[in-house]
């Protein structure tokens, strides 16, 4: 059995990734009670819808940002002169951002915004929601450009810890600005304005910082090759559409729920999903630092290296997820009611099914990231379409019967259906029998956790859950008897 090895700088990257998870967790904990106390449950629900639309517009550029970043990273390992990739990539960034600004201005027209938010027109005008929306979109566009393009330029020169460090700083300051402003002003408009002002200054600082610390010239606007930029946009079209579909799953479901149920259900779904997603972010910390090396070894056809890294990720992330769910289960109700100030109802079925969905999402995450980093855009698009269409169909069905717990089942079915396709793809890429064995052996913990959670839903017997998941944990940790080798 292969030993566990880590790249130099891995734990430094994990450190900054852990800080990012910590601030994300704190953000999820504080934003809910602060917003409810500052503007009330109704305005908080409106903020969620407004934020979801802003993130959907932001996602238009998401696939292209990944494509151009991957293009720079992959070519840097083959040739040292990547000026062409940088100029064409930056041009594509500018063109997409202009399109996003134009679209946000159109949607901000009050009657249009009232339709998309499923809100009364008078309410939209009274709180100046159109201006809040534009400022919110602008701030999200700028921060995404910083996080997914500028800071990723550190990756090909083996400085991913710098990327993670400044991503953490940006997330932290943005969170503090939003929480402080909503608490002081009790205004969504002033909160959006403060977030926009911060985004402008932070983006300018990061641009000049990256330009100073990378060994290649970073173009701005006058150095752009727009002819090649349109070629990049065409080449990244599939990946771009794929990321839009993926973002529908991440934030666009809020808009579907508002239509299928009512806006009053959205805070309940959103808060339960935030609790389950907190554990998913922990797994993301483990996988992010190893992705550049997987990307590099894929170009070198080093299959054994990639499989070893995947196996390491699954062992640790499965163990952490299982421990968190099992230990936290007796306390979730008390934590949730205090967290939401007894304003939002706790739904055990919903949270348990969301944990099951997270278990399968955690397993498939490294496949999806593998698709992203190697520009397997067609496969990623099909995967996302399967997941989103299955999930949306489930939400509409359970919405018809007003079954809030069914929202978790809808997400679970979406994850499983997409995972079936992802497995077919990776089995075709890694054709060896050892690879297939590794995939299915590491899938079993997610299946077993789902079974134990279903048993808990119907029995409410915590001791049975504790005993069953202890056996699953032993199964996961048994291969980790090997010596862990750390390359310093």
User: Mind listing the pLDDT tens digit of every residue in the chain (488 residues)?
Assistant: 444 454 545 455 556 556 666 777 777 778 888 998 899 888 988 998 899 899 999 989 888 888 888 778 777 767 767 777 788 888 888 899 999 999 999 999 999 999 888 888 999 999 999 999 999 999 999 999 998 888 888 877 777 777 888 888 998 999 999 999 999 999 999 999 999 999 999 999 999 898 888 877 777 777 777 788 888 888 888 878 888 888 888 788 888 888 888 677 888 888 888 777 766 665 565 555 556 666 566 656 677 777 887 887 888 888 888 988 999 899 988 888 888 878 888 899 999 999 999 999 888 888 887 777 666 778 888 998 999 999 999 999 998 888 888 999 999 999 999 999 999 988 887 777 888 888 888 899 999 999 999 999 999 999 999 999 999 998 888 755 443 333 43
The set of residues, in sequence order, having a beta carbon less than 8 Å from that of 318 and lying 6+ positions away, is 359, 362, 363, 442, 445, 446, 476
207 in the same domain as 291: no
Q: Which of 206, 235, 264 lies at the terminal end of a domain, its last residue?
A: 235
For position 125, what pLDDT does the model report? Answer: 94
209 in the same domain as 158: yes
For position 310, what pLDDT does the model report? Answer: 80
Element at 305 (helix H, strand E): helix 303-328
Beta pairing, strands 4-6 & 484-486: parallel
For position 452, what pLDDT does the model report? Answer: 96
249 in the same domain as 224: no
Q: Please check whether residue 329 lies inside any domain of the structure.
A: yes
Q: Please check whether residue 488 lies inside any domain of the structure.
A: no
Element at 426 (helix H, strand E): helix 406-429
388 in the same domain as 243: yes
116 in the same domain as 12: yes
Q: Please check whether residue 298 lies inside any domain of the structure.
A: yes
Q: Please check whether residue 439 lies inside any domain of the structure.
A: yes
243 in the same domain as 227: no
295 contacts 73 by C-beta, under 8 angstroms: yes
340 in the same domain as 295: yes
For position 211, what pLDDT does the model report? Answer: 86
Q: What predicted TM-score, i.e. pTM, was given to this entire model? A: 0.74
For position 481, what pLDDT does the model report? Answer: 40
100 in the same domain as 243: no
DSSP summary character for residue 329: G
Q: Which of 216, 235, 254 lies at the terminal end of a domain, its last residue?
A: 235
Q: Which of 208, 235, 262 lies at the terminal end of a domain, its last residue?
A: 235
Residue 332's CB: how many other CB atoms inside 10 A?
A: 18
Number of domains composing the chain: 2
For position 298, what pLDDT does the model report? Answer: 62
178 in the same domain as 48: yes
Q: Please check whether residue 166 lies inside any domain of the structure.
A: yes
139 in the same domain as 69: yes
347 contacts 405 by C-beta, under 8 angstroms: yes
- For the chain, state the CA radius of gyration: 22
For position 296, what pLDDT does the model report? Answer: 63
In angstroms, the CA 167 to CA 206 distance is 10
In angstroms, the CA 79 to CA 77 distance is 6
247 in the same domain as 230: no
Q: Please check whether residue 24 lies inside any domain of the structure.
A: yes
For residue 145, the enclosing domain spans 1-235
Q: Please check whether residue 348 lies inside any domain of the structure.
A: yes
For position 486, what pLDDT does the model report? Answer: 36
For position 6, what pLDDT does the model report? Answer: 47
Q: Please check whether residue 272 lies inside any domain of the structure.
A: yes
189 in the same domain as 331: no
- Look at the block and give the residue holding tokens 């940790």: 477
For position 303, what pLDDT does the model report? Answer: 72
What residues are paired with 4 via a beta bridge? 484
């Amino acid at each position: 059995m292969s030993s566990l090895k880590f790249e130099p700088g891995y734990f430094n990257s994990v450190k900054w990734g852990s800080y990012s998870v910590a601030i994300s967790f704190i953000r999820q904990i504080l934003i809910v009670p602060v917003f409810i106390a500052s503007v009330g449950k109704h305005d908080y629900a409106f903020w969620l819808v407004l934020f979801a639309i802003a993130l959907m517009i932001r996602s238009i550029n998401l696939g292209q940002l990944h494509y151009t970043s991957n293009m720079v990273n992959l070519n840097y390992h083959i040739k040292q002169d990547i000026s062409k990739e940088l100029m064409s990539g930056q041009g594509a960034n500018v063109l997409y951002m202009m399109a996003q600004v134009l679209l946000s201005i159109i949607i901000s027209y009050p009657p249009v915004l009232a339709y998309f938010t499923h809100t009364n027109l008078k309410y939209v005008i009274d709180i100046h929601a159109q201006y809040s929306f534009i400022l919110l979109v602008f701030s999200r566009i700028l921060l995404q450009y910083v996080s997914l393009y500028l800071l990723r330029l550190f990756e090909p020169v083996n400085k991913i810890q710098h990327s993670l460090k400044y991503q953490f700083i940006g997330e932290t300051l943005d969170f503090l600005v939003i929480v402080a402003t909503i608490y002081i002003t009790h205004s969504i408009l002033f909160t959006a304005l403060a977030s926009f002002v911060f985004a402008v200054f932070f983006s300018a600082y990061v641009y000049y910082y990256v330009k100073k610390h990378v060994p290649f010239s970073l173009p701005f606007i006058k150095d752009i090759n727009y002819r090649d930029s349109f070629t990049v946009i065409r080449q990244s079209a599939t990946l771009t559409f794929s990321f839009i579909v993926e973002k529908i799953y991440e934030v666009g479901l809020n808009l579907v729920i508002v239509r299928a149920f009512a806006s009053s259900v959205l805070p309940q779904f959103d808060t339960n999903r935030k609790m389950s997603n907190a554990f998913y972010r922990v797994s993301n910390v483990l996988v992010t630092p190893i992705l550049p090396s997987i990307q590099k070894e894929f170009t070198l056809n080093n299959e054994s290296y990639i499989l070893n890294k995947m196996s390491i990720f699954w062992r640790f992330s499965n163990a952490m997820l299982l421990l968190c769910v099992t230990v936290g289960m007796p306390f979730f109700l008390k934590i949730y009611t205090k967290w939401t100030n007894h304003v939002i109802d706790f739904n055990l079925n919903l949270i348990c099914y969301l944990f099951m969905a997270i278990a399968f999402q955690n397993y498939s995450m490294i496949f999806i990231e593998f698709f992203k980093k190697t520009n397997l855009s067609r496969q990623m698009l099909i995967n996302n379409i399967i997941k989103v269409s299955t999930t949306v169909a489930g939400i509409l069905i359970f919405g018809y019967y007003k079954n809030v717990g069914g929202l978790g089942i809808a997400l679970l079915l979406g994850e499983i259906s997409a995972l079936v396709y992802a497995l077919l793809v990776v089995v075709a890429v890694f054709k060896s029998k050892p690879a297939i064995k590794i995939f299915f052996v590491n899938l079993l913990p997610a299946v077993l956790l789902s079974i134990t959670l279903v048993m808990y839903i119907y029995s409410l017997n915590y001791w049975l859950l504790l005993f069953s998941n202890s056996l699953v944990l032993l199964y996961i940790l048994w291969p980790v008897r090997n010596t862990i080798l750390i390359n310093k």
